[in-house]
Amino acid sequence: MFAFIKKILLYFLVLLMPNATICNDSIIETPTVGISSETLVDHEYLDVFIGGSSNSEVFVKGLKFSEESGYSKVEHIMIPDEINGYPVTTICDTAFFNEGGSNSLDFIKSVKIGDNVRYIGRCAFLDSHIESIELGKNVEIIEQGAFECCYFLNEIELNNNLRVIKGSSLAFGDYFNSTYIPQMPESIEYIDSYCFGGIRNTNTFVIPKGLKFWGGNIVNAKKLVVLSAELNFGEENIINSECIVYCYENSTIHQKLKSGEINNEYHLIENAYLTSETVDISEDYVISGLQGGLTENDLKSYLKVEGEAEIRVSDEVVKTGTKIELVNADPEFVYKTYTAVVDGDINGDGAAVSAEDFTAMRDIITGSDSEYSDINKKAADLNGDGIVNSTDLTIMKSLLN
């Protein structure tokens, strides 16, 4: 019954919406639709146009209409990186909204979003029957109601550049009974009201360190860990009275707890970090100067934990790219994630200085393979002068012989 009323309300909300998305929050930069937005771009089944401030981006409006089938019956929607050489950056408001079931968009089962998409518009997939969604690497904003009432969707992996999640956008599945909350990436700055439709009966809910605003939400968790120092709340925030809050001293939430504005039991968390006398740990949490073939225990012997925390390593044998997390056991949360760089293990398979690493170094120097990250490049800088060049290649050749 509630779900039905909610759907009716949403329907009117969508009817009242202007075509271009308007948003006044300073943290949110919404895309602008260019003046010659009618320019049509050819695509097999997507209804698209060129827009953007310089008229060089592709906007997705939805599916193409065809006379025989009503809508093109595409089960798996793939939003490409580019169409006709233009990057696809935006999925428009209500693009795949399954309006009251009347458009029969029920056949859409999965969606894969390309890596150039930065913005998913209001109610973009509202009420659709999608079972899986793969966000691209660069989605920054998910607008209000984007995946709301997607009853067949059970989970979502949020990408690492996501900054803004607007109201009720991730309230999919069973809106009033779901206990699922996705893992929040560290890039999140803004979470609007009822993004998850409420937080229910969860053990520990962790607010990431970069979050600056959290709108109205009912929290029904045993433990709430606030890693953000500058968190501001919307007006409707209600934390259940049994919830124990963990926060840093002098953080905004600590001040509210101290003053009695928020009336929950709380504990201060001590900042924890890693130090080492044998390997280098940079300010952006990269651990370098590691040799090949180290086990988790070898690695731990190089590192000293400052504060109440434990080390958790993602691989049994340390490779370039291995994640080293500093975790608190109770309540469980990650203080910091470090990344390992093994000298000479450029391809990240754990073996330092092999024929594959030689090829990888040559590709980095010639620029013929752009797939290598800064971490891989750091592993290739064998003399540690900050650049990868023929000097490093000479060192590698001598190590291989």
Per-residue CA distances from 349 to 313, 317, 321 (Å): 15, 9, 9
Residue 76 or 397: the one with the smaller Cβ distance to Ca ion is 397
Q: How far is the CB of 318 from Ca ion (least distance, A)?
A: 12
Q: How far is the CB of 356 from Ca ion (least distance, A)?
A: 6
Residue 188 or 294: the one with the smaller Cβ distance to Ca ion is 294
User: Which positions touch Ca ion (CB under 5 A)?
Assistant: 345, 347, 349, 351, 354, 357, 381, 383, 385, 392
Q: How far is the CB of 173 from Ca ion (least distance, A)?
A: 42
Residue 90 or 347: the one with the smaller Cβ distance to Ca ion is 347
Token pair of 19, please?
């075509």
Matching residue, tokens 């009974």? 177
Residue 93 or 381: the one with the smaller Cβ distance to Ca ion is 381
CA 184 to mean position of chain CA atoms: 7
Q: How far is the CB of 379 from Ca ion (least distance, A)?
A: 8
Q: How far is the CB of 353 from Ca ion (least distance, A)?
A: 7
H-state helical runs in 118-266: 252-259
- Single out the residue of 342, 338, 340 nearest to residue 292, CA to CA: 342
- Phi (first) and psi of residue 154, to 5 degrees: -110, -25
Residue 115 or 357: the one with the smaller Cβ distance to Ca ion is 357
Residue 178 or 347: the one with the smaller Cβ distance to Ca ion is 347
Q: How far is the CB of 362 from Ca ion (least distance, A)?
A: 14
Rounded Cα distance between 312 and 169, Å, is 33
Residue 124 or 341: the one with the smaller Cβ distance to Ca ion is 341
Q: What is the DSSP string of 4-67?
A: HHHHHHHHHHHHH--SS-----TT-------TTTT-B---SSEEEEEETTTT-EEEEEEEPEET
Q: How far is the CB of 393 from Ca ion (least distance, A)?
A: 9
H-state helical runs in 132-175: none
How many residues make up the chain in this entry? Answer: 401
Is omega for the bond preceding 87 within 30 degrees of 0, making it cis? no
